[in-house]
């Protein structure tokens, strides 16, 4: 120890301490007490040093021993002394205690979304800017193999190249002007994206299980060249003009049909009116004259314009207490008399 006390020179011990009396016993007790204090200090120093070293080691190894897996995540174990990556088991959410020489890698297994923006070439060689949205999640059953074969950067190593290749293949088979015309087919083909998986041998056959499950691939935006955009806009403008002309022609045809119907109605009316019996018209005229004569007000009515016309003049209501001022007269022309022979 650094704080050792100066050693005191001990008196030579005699063969018989009891012979020297009480002072010799006191000196022996003091020496024993001094040795005990030195031993106790050494023990305390060793204990404190060990405790500090344990606390430092525990603080340093705490993140490697006590691993917390967040919600929506799973972890893969790497055993340093027992065969490396564990592929047949995943560690779930919560607190996990592992040896400090092992490692636990956490993967988020919830549904995730990322966007990619890149350029593709159409069938005629035009450069198109495409932006897609990807919704994906790791396959929990293949999480150990994903960590062993690809690693935590599986999006950049696996998903992104596969998506870009699939989108370029989809747009490269179509001209630029057909992308908007067949947008439904494009979206349907984009959704059928193959996912790279692990090839496993099961008996005499080979099967593939995907590392990652891509649930949806959406087309967010397409940037067409200016010449293609102007051509598409002009095409839609001409289509709208054609629809306008077609509407005008249909309107004029409907108007012509309406006029033909109206003219046919007028013609039929004139034909029917020309075939009415004159006697019926004369009878209806007489009925109207009689109804007019029965009215209480004064009137002068002259009817004529044909054979058998009636004349009604100065028809006034009767004066109270006297004779009527005028009477209604309805005269029908006498039938014509046959003409006699002329006088000589």
Across the chain, which has 344 residues, the per-10-residue mean pLDDT values are 46 50 78 86 88 82 86 92 88 89 91 90 80 91 91 91 87 74 70 76 76 87 78 82 91 92 88 73 76 70 54 52 44 42 40
- 45 is a domain residue: yes
Q: How many helices (H) and strands (E) does the chain have?
A: 9, 12
Q: What is the pTM of this model?
A: 0.53
pLDDT of residue 180: 65
Q: Which of 89, 107, 125 is the last residue of a domain?
A: 107
Contact 97, 65 (CB under 8 A): yes
CA distance 325 to 318: 6
Q: Which CATH number do you get for residue 208? A: 3.30.479.30
| β-pairing verdict for 212-223 and 66-69 | unpaired
Centre a 10 Å sphere on the Cβ of residue 276 and count the other Cβ atoms it contains. 10
CB 331 within 8 A of CB 310: yes
Eight-state DSSP code of residue 174: S
296: DSSP letter: S
Q: Are residues 238 and 217 in the same domain?
A: no
Q: Does 68 share its domain with 137?
A: no
Q: Which of 88, 107, 126 is the endpoint of a domain?
A: 107
- Answer yes or no: is 134 within a domain: yes
Return the percent helix, strand and coil in the chain, to nearest 5. Answer: 45, 25, 30
Together in a domain, 261 and 164: no
Q: In this structure, is residue 7 part of a structural domain?
A: no
Q: Measured between alpha carbons, how far is residue 142 from residues 145, 234, 269 in Å?
A: 5, 52, 89
Q: Is residue 307 domain-shared with residue 253, that is, in the same domain? A: no
One domain, residues 169 and 181: yes
Q: Could you tell me if 112 and 135 are in contact, meaning their C-beta atoms sit under 8 angstroms apart?
A: yes
Residue 329 lies in a domain: no
Shared domain check, 120 and 195:
yes
Max CA separation in the chain (angstroms): 223
Tell me what pLDDT residue 42 has: 87
**Residue range(s) defining the domain that contains residue 77:** 29-107
Domain identity same for 130 and 101 = no
**Are 73 and 97 within one domain?**
yes
How many degrees, rounded to 5, is the angle at CA 295 between CA 294 and CA 301? Answer: 90
Number of domains in the chain: 4
Helix axes 183-191, 160-172, angle to 10 degrees: 150
Residue 171 lies in a domain: yes
Compute the CA torsion angle 152, 153, 159, 164 (nearest 10 deg): 180
Per-residue pLDDT, 334: 42
- If asked whether residues 94 and 146 sit together in one domain, one would say no
């Amino acid at each position: 120890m650094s704080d050792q006390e100066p050693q005191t020179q001990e008196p030579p011990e005699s063969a018989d301490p009891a012979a020297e009396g009480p002072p010799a016993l006191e000196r022996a007790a003091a020496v024993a007490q001094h040795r005990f204090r030195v031993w106790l200090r050494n023990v305390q120093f060793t204990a404190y040093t060990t405790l500090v070293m344990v606390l430092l080691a525990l603080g340093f190894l705490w993140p490697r021993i006590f691993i917390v897996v967040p919600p929506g995540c799973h972890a893969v174990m790497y055993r340093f002394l027992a065969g490396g990556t564990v592929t047949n088991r995943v560690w779930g959410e919560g607190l996990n205690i592992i040896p400090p020489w092992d490692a636990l890698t956490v993967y988020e297994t919830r549904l995730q979304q990322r966007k990619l923006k890149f350029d593709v070439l159409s069938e005629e060689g035009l450069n198109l800017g495409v932006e897609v949205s990807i919704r994906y999640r790791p396959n929990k059953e293949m999480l150990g193999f994903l960590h062993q074969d690809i690693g935590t950067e599986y999006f950049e190593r696996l998903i992104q190249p596969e998506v870009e290749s699939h989108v370029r293949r989809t747009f490269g088979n179509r001209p630029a002007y057909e992308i908007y015309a067949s947008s439904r087919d494009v979206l349907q083909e984009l959704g059928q994206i193959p996912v790279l998986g692990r090839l496993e041998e099961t008996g005499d056959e080979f099967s593939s299980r995907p590392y990652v499950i891509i649930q949806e691939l959406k087309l967010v935006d397409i940037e067409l060249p200016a010449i293609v955009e102007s051509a598409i806009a002009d095409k839609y403008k001409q289509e709208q003009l054609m629809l306008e002309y077609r509407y005008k022609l249909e309107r004029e045809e409907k108007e012509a049909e309406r006029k033909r119907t109206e003219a046919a109605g007028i013609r039929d009316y004139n034909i029917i009116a020309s075939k009415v019996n004159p006697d019926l018209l004369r009878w209806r005229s007489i009925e109207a004259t009689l109804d007019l004569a029965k009215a209480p007000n004064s009137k002068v009515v002259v009817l004529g314009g044909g054979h058998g016309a009636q004349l009604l003049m100065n028809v006034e209501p009767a004066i109270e207490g006297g004779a009527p001022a005028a009477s209604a007269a309805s005269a029908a022309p006498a039938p014509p008399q046959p003409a006699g022979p002329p006088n000589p």
